[in-house]
Amino acid sequence: MRRLGVDVGGTFTDLVLWDDDGTTTVHKTPSTNEDPSVGTMKGISALEVKAEIDLESIDMFFHGTTVATNIVLEHNGDDVGLITTEGFRDLLHIARKKRPLNYSNYQELPWQKWQLVPRRNRRTVPERIDASGAVLTSLDEDAVRQEARLLRERGVAAVAIAFLHAYKNPAHEQRAREIVEEEFPEAFISLSSEVASQYREYERFSTTALNAFVGPKTSNYISKLVDEASAAGVSDDVHLMTSAGGLVTARSARQTPVSLLTSGVVAGLIGGCAIGAASGYPSVITLDVGGTSADVGVAPDGRLRMKHLLDTRIGDYHAMVPMAEVDTIGAGGGSIASIDEGGMFRVGPRSAGAVPGPACFDRGGTEPTSTDAMVVLGWLREKSFLSGTMEVRPQLAEQAVRNHIAEPLGQSTEKAAMGIFTVLAHSMTEAISLHSVRKGYDPRDFSLVAEGGAGPLFAWHIAKQLDIPRIIVPTHPGITSAVGLLATDIRYEVPTTVWTSSDQADIDLLAREVARLTDQAVAQLKGDGIPDEHIDLECSVDCRYVGQGYELRVQAPSGEIDADWVEQVAQAFHEQHGRMYSQRFDDKPVQLVNVRMTGIGMVPQIRLPKIAVGDADSTPAKVATAQTLMWTDDAGSPKWVDTDVYSRELLRAGNVFDGPAIVEQFDSTTVIGIGQRATVDELGHIIIERCAQ
Amino acid sequence: MPMTGVSLAPEVPHRTWNSVEVDPITLRVIGGALDSMAKEMAQVLYRMAYSSLIRESEDLGAGIFDVYGRELCESDSTPMHCGSIPAYIKGVNRRLAGSYRPGDVILHNHPYHGAAHSPDYGIIIPIFWNDEHIGFAGCTGHVSDIGGNFPGLCMDVVDVWAEGKLMDSMKIYDAGVRNDMLIQHILDNVRTPEQNRGDLEALVSCARIGEKRFVELLETYGLDTVMSASEAWMDYSENMLRSRIRELPNGSYEAPIGYLDDDGKNRGVPLKVAVRVDIEDDEVLIDLTGSNDQVPTAFNVPFEGSVLPVAVSAIRTILLDEETTPEYVPQNDGCFRPVRAYAPEGTIFNPDFPASCFARFSQVNRVFDSINLALAPILPDQAVAGSSSALCAIAYSGVAEDGESYWVYIEINEGSYGGRNGRDGLDAVDALMANTRNNPIEELELNHAMRAERYELRDESPAPGQWRGGIGSVRRWLMMTDTFLGSEADNRSDPPAGVLGGADGVSGSFVRNPGTEREEVLHSKVTQEVVHAGDTLEIRMPSGGGFGDPFKRDPFAVLHDVWDEYLTSEEAARDYGVVVDTERWVVDDAATSALRSRDSQTRNAEN
């Protein structure tokens, strides 16, 4: 069986071809942002040659794309019309009426400045359903027809239909869709009861409008890719990664593109989980550091944690869709260091990007970046970028750090460079502890997976700071996201709002809803052609104490829905509440707010290939000795030390070496600190652990 | 109080730590840690809380303070709360200084001793390090009911005892031992005991997380380094603000006199708000001399807990606007230092004990608005036209089904901003000192016997200006059961002011049963009004004033306003001199030029 994973990022498109026999072929090609399918198809052709295979022999094609994400970030979606309940025309305009900034007269409200639907295209029709789902005012079908015609005349490309309490009773939305389809068959239609079937009208409406906003373009892109892939001979349907960390079929992704928005960063987390599991360490913290940002994820036992639905944002908008918890902070290789007006030392979130880039790239950048700092520290050598194919000028790095930081602060250039690194590493440490220690998870129970080109430059220090016992540096840190695409299952999550409390639980309602969601999830998977024996189900419940406003998600047991099931859910919630807030109230009733059923179409798991075996002696892989600036102990100040430099390609399973050391490979460099020992495992992963000095 | 005013920044008699040199990197790291611990505190509070004001509206504040009550960091929740915690600490210190022990948890809400107002429960925990008391973790949150004469909100009450149960520096935990009897006593005297119990637990958890995180920071860096770094950050914020003040010309700047509708009892008697901003070198004095005498209702303002925070927030907002200031300037004690406020005793902004001062937001928000208006002539790029300065809070309540408590729902209706130089006013958003969230209609309808009939931008056109005023909202509730209504609102008689040629904004209103024979306009402040099942209540919120001459507005923007049904084409022609072709949705350029030049000739002739 052959699987192809293609992850389209902002700069590069990464491809991985994996064969059941263990052969893996990787390829990297520049992304083509105008039409990403061009880069993808080019990459696939190159891979075909490199791996010496026929595209027809590819059994599964997995794809991660930022097409929808970019539309949102660049505000260039399609014109959208909204049909909504009379009296509630401006819910998208009022939003939650809280300003993003406390102390600002001149801020803009993103939902008003970059409206998903301008007011003229927000159309209301008489209809009303109450909180119990009962119809108070029946749908005025003529009004829907009239508005559909108007929107068609105005040339919108998509129509969002969102009515109050439609999560409880979708009948009016469904009927409205039929009418819009009759009047305006070419429109992309998005229903609130399908996109995000949960209470909280603003968030649901916004998600529905966002789906419509990215819908036509994303849908077209996916169709085009499917056609081109099929024309090139790839027999499989394209599967896409969602923000929840599952795969969906092209059919589903085209209907609900809003579910794809954070898939890029989530793929990195899943890749890290797969790598950790393959090396025997399932509990991982992932750190993916690129040019402008760092993504941090925490997965106890390799399980993804989902964000609270009020925190699931993308750019300036709210999207109430399941998103795995990954935090992105503005700290990367291109982060710029500066001294501000008040004399304060700052690093990031401003980034030099690819252009003008770090000063040492000599492309016009003069401000010092994190990359420049690492060149000064000796960790990044002149010939270490892209195997020496890229010129780097260390004296420019030194000059930038000296002029912009060291001299204004009255420090040595080395100290200033170390400062740039420390401040950036600290912001990553804070982000990790926010998602681990502060959520009740002990970093000492985890391994840190260093991903992206720059992750392995930071991981050694962060692991020390947080007392994380082990770092795993994947064989190809730069393509972890593409590996993630191959390492997950097909997943559909269907939610519903139930509102019942544990002391007087409506068992019938719960049983009915769970059965309905189960049918819905199974039908979706069967529609994708997943055979029964590969279908699995997971149920979770969003709970809170009766009277609170924020839910925590807990796993529900499988099996019959009865009083015992409710009790087990309540117990799981008490535990979760205790972990999150250090307090639990076992005597208080628990409100079950939303039930979520995830249908899983299991994909056979990949086995990562093994590398050639060597012995403990790593000297054959040693290519140089360099001078680098390192901390010699936890308290002391940094010193220049002799540092062994290894070539990643020459490392063999079983090799062992101690820090200080540097490992160089095509698109990444790994630092091993003093007091740390690196061991190469059978998969080629470098495992870095603390050792006695 | 000296006529030169007082500042929110506490005095520091002597330092109990050694000032040490902190390298710029450690400084940065400690600054980041302080920032994130305040945010984490707030998150714990609003996620655990029960009162909808805390959990949905985020009507709360949290931060870490040194042993003198200086604010080291604050959460980014609502400005009204955070600036007030130093005053709570001062109030608590006056009774308990010297008697703190590890494990103490103190509850405080006394409006004459630092509380922002009595429903804002404050929890203060003293922080110890090596057996020495070195600081406080503190937080505040608005609970649903505190006893007193009326459920939820009150207006026509005789004094501070009638507004609710007062807690003056009460140790609910004494050296780690919980005083259950005291807590029970407190809860027995409120109408929403279960909610308040949950809120109290959330407040305590919030302060404890702050205490824990700060101690962790001390464990890593030691007291001397942490305090020296904190001082450096406070000095940084202070210097940034002082350097902005220094750029302004010295002088006294007066806002136009503002009028509040009435005191909630003596109808038709407006209350005067006089605001003068004195700039002297790098200091600012907000002088409220000339404002109304105190009133015999709850419509007075606690000076320390409410007037001082608004003075600080307004100056910081105008001079170090977070949107336009490239540096991130943390809000801390440093921002308090260059700003003082003065209000004569016995006035609405500095009432004599025991006058009630429960309902104070509309007045302080008017002070913020007036500071904007006073500075608009010298800071046209930073100030805004008049915004909806009232805070429209409405308490809906009734006896709960169990017959043993009340249901109380307090809703804060959003306002809008005045036009800004280069940008229109923000529509339907909490303005100035307020920054809360609304509650989902779908949740309210499930939990309360109320049904929303309308929630939209209001129909009246916005205030004309080159940059038009923001548009307020309209909300209509249908009551499904007999409901008590209490409100504190304003901005009925004196709408938001236009500046530099912009038109004044539009007043707000409360109407019962609009569009029916029983239609009735209610006052902005009502006390225990009964609304019957089947009645509707329509709330219209003020629209902000315009900024600059509307005849200079970009015709394309006017076209969009007509297209979006904010204006009629007649209004576009009359108020903006723009002729819109509503068939083809384009501006009729020729007709517009003709209309605009005719207007400027008329105006020249008039001059």
Distance CA(A205)–CA(A117), nearest Å, equals: 11
- Domain shared by B562 and B449, yes or no: no
B582 in a domain, yes or no?
A: yes
More confident residue, A647 or A248: A647
Q: Which two tokens stand for residue B90?
A: 């001062």
Q: Could you tell me which residues come within 8 angstroms of residue A537 by beta carbon, excluding any fewer than 6 positions away?
A: A518, A521, A522, A558, A597, A598, A599, A600
- Domain shared by A475 and A346, yes or no: yes
pLDDT of residue A377: 96
- Domain shared by B178 and B231, yes or no: yes
pLDDT of residue A478: 85
* Number of separate domains in chain A: 4
- Show which of residues 400-439 on chain B sit within 8 Å of chain A, judged by CB atoms: 414, 417, 420, 423, 426-430, 435-438
Question: Does A582 contact chain B (CB < 8 Å)?
Answer: yes
A250 in a domain, yes or no?
A: no
Q: Check whether A386 has a pLDDT greater than 70.
A: no
- Secondary structure string (H, E, C) spanning A142-201: HHHHHHHHHHHHCCCCEEEEECCCCCCCCHHHHHHHHHHHHHCCCCEEEEHHHHCCCCCH
The DSSP output letter for B492 is: S
Q: Check whether A605 has a pLDDT greater than 80.
A: no
Tell me the pLDDT band of A383, cut-offs 50, 70 and 90: confident
- Domain shared by B469 and B568, yes or no: no
Interchain proximity B36–A430, CB inside 8 Å: yes
Q: Could you tell me which residues come within 8 angstroms of residue A220 by beta carbon, excluding any fewer than 6 positions away?
A: none
Interchain proximity A547–B198, CB inside 8 Å: yes
Cβ atoms of residues A600 and A491 within 8 Å:
yes
Helices B193-221/B24-48 angle, 10° precision:
160
Q: Which two tokens stand for residue A595?
A: 């039930």
- Show which of residues 138-197 on chain B sit within 8 Å of chain A, judged by CB atoms: 194-195
pLDDT of residue B598: 84
Question: Does A106 contact chain B (CB < 8 Å)?
Answer: yes
A174 in a domain, yes or no?
A: yes
pLDDT of residue B82: 65
Q: Check whether A167 has a pLDDT greater than 80.
A: yes
Cβ atoms of residues A192 and A168 within 8 Å:
no
B492 in a domain, yes or no?
A: yes
- Domain shared by A446 and A301, yes or no: yes
- Of all residues in chain A, the one with the smallest CA distance to B319 is A104
Distance CA(B203)–CA(B105), nearest Å, equals: 10
Neighboring chain A residues of B322 at a CB cutoff of 8 Å: 101-104, 107
* Number of separate domains in chain B: 3
A241 in a domain, yes or no?
A: no
- Domain shared by B462 and B425, yes or no: yes
The tens digit of pLDDT for each residue in A116-127 reads: 999 999 999 999
- Of all residues in chain B, the one with the smallest CA distance to A119 is B564
Which CA distances in Å does A135 have to A82, A127, A130, B27? 21, 8, 6, 60
Look at residues B236, B251, B271 and tell me which one is the last residue of a structural domain.
B236
Instruction: Say which range, A138-142, A309-313, A680-684, B560-564, has the weakest mean pLDDT.
Output: A309-313
A153 in a domain, yes or no?
A: yes
- Show which of residues 475-494 on chain B sit within 8 Å of chain A, judged by CB atoms: 476
Cβ atoms of residues B63 and B71 within 8 Å:
yes
Tell me the pLDDT band of B241, cut-offs 50, 70 and 90: very high
Question: Does A90 contact chain B (CB < 8 Å)?
Answer: yes
The tens digit of pLDDT for each residue in A64-100 reads: 888 888 888 888 899 999 999 999 999 999 999 999 9
- Domain shared by B125 and B110, yes or no: yes
Over range B440-457, report the average pLDDT.
Answer: 94
Cβ atoms of residues B489 and B363 within 8 Å:
no
Cβ atoms of residues A338 and B28 within 8 Å:
no
pLDDT of residue A368: 96
Tell me the pLDDT band of A156, cut-offs 50, 70 and 90: very high
- Of all residues in chain B, the one with the smallest CA distance to A551 is B47
Instruction: Give the number of other CB atoms < 10 A from CB of residue A3.
Output: 22
**Residue whose pair of structure tokens reads 């901390």 in the numeric block:** A631
**Residue whose pair of structure tokens reads 């401003």 in the numeric block:** A350
A595 in a domain, yes or no?
A: yes
Instruction: Say which range, A225-234, B161-170, B416-425, B542-551, has the weakest mean pLDDT.
Output: A225-234
A231 in a domain, yes or no?
A: no
For residue B514, which amino acid is it? Answer: P
ipTM, 2 dp: 0.94
Q: Report helix, strand or coil for A594.
A: strand
pLDDT of residue A675: 92
Select from A647, A639, A643 the least CA-distant residue to A665: A647
- Domain shared by B546 and B560, yes or no: no
Alpha helix positions (H), B146-255: 160-163, 180-188, 193-221, 223-246
Tell me the pLDDT band of A388, cut-offs 50, 70 and 90: low
Select from B118, B115, B134 the least CA-distant residue to B126: B134
- Of all residues in chain B, the one with the smallest CA distance to A435 is B40
The alpha carbon of residue A470 is apart from the nearest alpha carbon of chain B, in Å, by 22
Candidates A82, A97, A341, A420: best to mutate against B (most CBs of B within 10 A) is A97
Distance CA(B21)–CA(B313), nearest Å, equals: 31
B279 in a domain, yes or no?
A: no
Q: Check whether A522 has a pLDDT greater than 60.
A: yes
Q: Check whether B525 has a pLDDT greater than 90.
A: yes
**Partners of residue B65 on adjacent β-strands:** B71, B136
Q: Could you tell me which residues come within 8 angstroms of residue A656 by beta carbon, excluding any fewer than 6 positions away?
A: A616, A618, A677, A678, A679, A680
Look at residues B514, B532, B550 and tell me which one is the last residue of a structural domain.
B550
- Domain shared by A399 and A442, yes or no: yes
Distance CA(A545)–CA(A586), nearest Å, equals: 10
- Show which of residues 483-522 on chain A sit within 8 Å of chain B, judged by CB atoms: 499
- Of all residues in chain A, the one with the smallest CA distance to B314 is A103
Candidates B22, B28, B424, B467: best to mutate against A (most CBs of A within 10 A) is B28
Look at residues B236, B266, B293 and tell me which one is the last residue of a structural domain.
B236
**Partners of residue B378 on adjacent β-strands:** none
Instruction: Say which range, A554-563, A604-613, B438-447, has the weakest mean pLDDT.
Output: A604-613
Owning domain of residue B596? 554-606
Look at residues A460, A488, A516 and tell me which one is the last residue of a structural domain.
A488
Q: Check whether A438 has a pLDDT greater than 80.
A: no
Distance CA(B420)–CA(B502), nearest Å, equals: 10
B318 in a domain, yes or no?
A: no
- Domain shared by A353 and A394, yes or no: yes
Distance CA(A45)–CA(A183), nearest Å, equals: 43
Instruction: Say which range, A130-134, A337-341, B19-23, B139-143, has the weakest mean pLDDT.
Output: A337-341
B304 in a domain, yes or no?
A: no
Interchain proximity A105–B451, CB inside 8 Å: no
Q: Check whether B607 has a pLDDT greater than 60.
A: no
A631 in a domain, yes or no?
A: no
Distance CA(B191)–CA(B406), nearest Å, equals: 5
Distance CA(A98)–CA(B77), nearest Å, equals: 10
Distance CA(A437)–CA(A275), nearest Å, equals: 23
Q: Check whether A216 has a pLDDT greater than 70.
A: yes
pLDDT of residue B605: 67
- Show which of residues 365-424 on chain A sit within 8 Å of chain B, judged by CB atoms: 409, 418-419, 422-423
More confident residue, A565 or A384: A565
B254 in a domain, yes or no?
A: no
**CATH number assigned to the domain comprising residue A443:** 3.30.420
Q: Check whether B28 has a pLDDT greater than 90.
A: no
- Domain shared by A331 and A405, yes or no: yes
- Domain shared by A503 and A371, yes or no: no
A118 in a domain, yes or no?
A: yes
**CATH number assigned to the domain comprising residue A510:** 3.30.1490
Cβ atoms of residues B423 and B380 within 8 Å:
no
- Domain shared by A414 and A499, yes or no: no
Distance CA(B430)–CA(B439), nearest Å, equals: 13
- Of all residues in chain A, the one with the smallest CA distance to B313 is A103
Q: Name the pairing type of β-strands B283-287 and B276-280.
A: antiparallel
pLDDT of residue A457: 96
- Show which of residues 324-343 on chain B sit within 8 Å of chain A, judged by CB atoms: 324, 326-327, 329, 331
Q: Which two tokens stand for residue B360?
A: 């104070």
Cβ atoms of residues A118 and A125 within 8 Å:
no
Interchain proximity B44–A581, CB inside 8 Å: yes
**Partners of residue A191 on adjacent β-strands:** A161
Interchain proximity A99–B435, CB inside 8 Å: yes
Surface-to-core class of residue A634, CB atoms within 10 Å of its CB (0-12 exposed, 13-18 middle, 19+ buried): exposed
- Domain shared by B561 and B532, yes or no: no
Tell me the pLDDT band of A387, cut-offs 50, 70 and 90: low
Over range A463-470, report the average pLDDT.
Answer: 93
- Domain shared by A359 and A422, yes or no: yes
- Domain shared by A333 and A373, yes or no: yes
DSSP string, B235-286: HHHHHHHHHHHHTSPSEEEEPPPEEES--SSSTT--EEE--EEEEETTEEEE
Q: Name the pairing type of β-strands A128-129 and A335-339.
A: unpaired
More confident residue, A632 or B214: B214
Question: Does B199 contact chain A (CB < 8 Å)?
Answer: no
Cβ atoms of residues B441 and B476 within 8 Å:
no
pTM score: 0.91
Alpha helix positions (H), A344-472: 370-376, 394-401, 407-409, 413-435, 455-466
Q: Check whether A52 has a pLDDT greater than 60.
A: yes
- Domain shared by B35 and B92, yes or no: yes
Cβ atoms of residues A83 and A260 within 8 Å:
no
- Domain shared by A519 and A417, yes or no: no
Instruction: Give the number of other CB atoms < 10 A from CB of residue B482.
Output: 14
Tell me the Ramachandran region of residue B554: left when phi exceeds 0, alpha when psi lies from -120 to 50, beta otherwise. beta
**Residue contacts between A and B (CB atoms, under 8 Å):** 211
The DSSP output letter for A420 is: H
How many Cα atoms sit within 13 Å of A626 on the Cβ side? 25
- Domain shared by A109 and A8, yes or no: no
- Domain shared by B133 and B157, yes or no: yes
Q: Report helix, strand or coil for B68.
A: coil
- Domain shared by B80 and B198, yes or no: yes
- Domain shared by B116 and B200, yes or no: yes
B447 in a domain, yes or no?
A: yes
pLDDT of residue A248: 87
- Domain shared by B523 and B558, yes or no: no
pLDDT of residue B602: 78
Q: Check whether B208 has a pLDDT greater than 90.
A: yes
Q: Using CA atoms in the order B414, B419, B425, B430, what is the torsion angle rounded to 10 degrees?
A: -30
- Of all residues in chain A, the one with the smallest CA distance to B75 is A102
Owning domain of residue A593? 490-601
Q: Check whether B574 has a pLDDT greater than 90.
A: yes
Tell me the pLDDT band of B122, cut-offs 50, 70 and 90: very high
- Domain shared by A84 and A205, yes or no: yes
Q: Report helix, strand or coil for A60.
A: strand
- Show which of residues 417-456 on chain A sit within 8 Å of chain B, judged by CB atoms: 418-419, 422-423, 426-427, 430, 434, 438
B261 in a domain, yes or no?
A: no
